[in-house]
Amino acid sequence: MEKTLAIIKPDAMRKKMAGKIIDRIYEKGFNIVGLKMLQLKENQANEFYKVHAERPFYKNLVSYMTSGSVIVAALEKENAIKDWRNLMGATNPAEAAEGTIRKDFGENIEANAVHGSDSPETASTEVPFFFAD
């Protein structure tokens, strides 16, 4: 079994889409092995997104991710990372495939409803960032 991290971002939380997103997670056969709602503090968001620290969008990303509540989830299933990435859709909702979470619930490239680990290496640091073993 593989684990990946999912975050339901502030835009989806404000639009009250968390339940619909969680329903889709279950419909695709994921097990939710960790789940919590929280408000990221600036220092947490800085640390979590430090891989993007040199990019021009970093400050806006941190500001956005601390702008409201999020739900973080540890998902588990065979091929969890790939399957979650497919369910999320392309980063830009305008380019995402029909029926994906970002196409259906995302607003733009930043406010795109959800986050997911992009590789096993990333998942191995992102999941423990929010969840103990």
Tens digit of each residue's pLDDT, the chain (133 residues):
999 999 999 999 999 999 999 999 999 999 999 999 999 999 999 999 998 889 899 999 999 999 999 999 999 999 999 999 999 999 999 999 999 999 999 999 989 999 999 999 999 999 999 998 6
Domain count for the chain, please give it: 1
**Catalytic choice (62, 96, 115, 123):** 115
Q: Identify the residue whose tokens are 């889709």.
A: 24
Domain that holds residue 66: 2-130
What the block records as the tokens of 89 is 């859709």
- Tell me the C-alpha distance between 6 and 91, whole Å: 14
**What is residue 95's predicted lDDT score, i.e. its pLDDT?**
97
**115 labelled catalytic:** yes
| CATH classification of the domain holding 60 | 3.30.70.141
pLDDT at 1 (0 to 100): 94
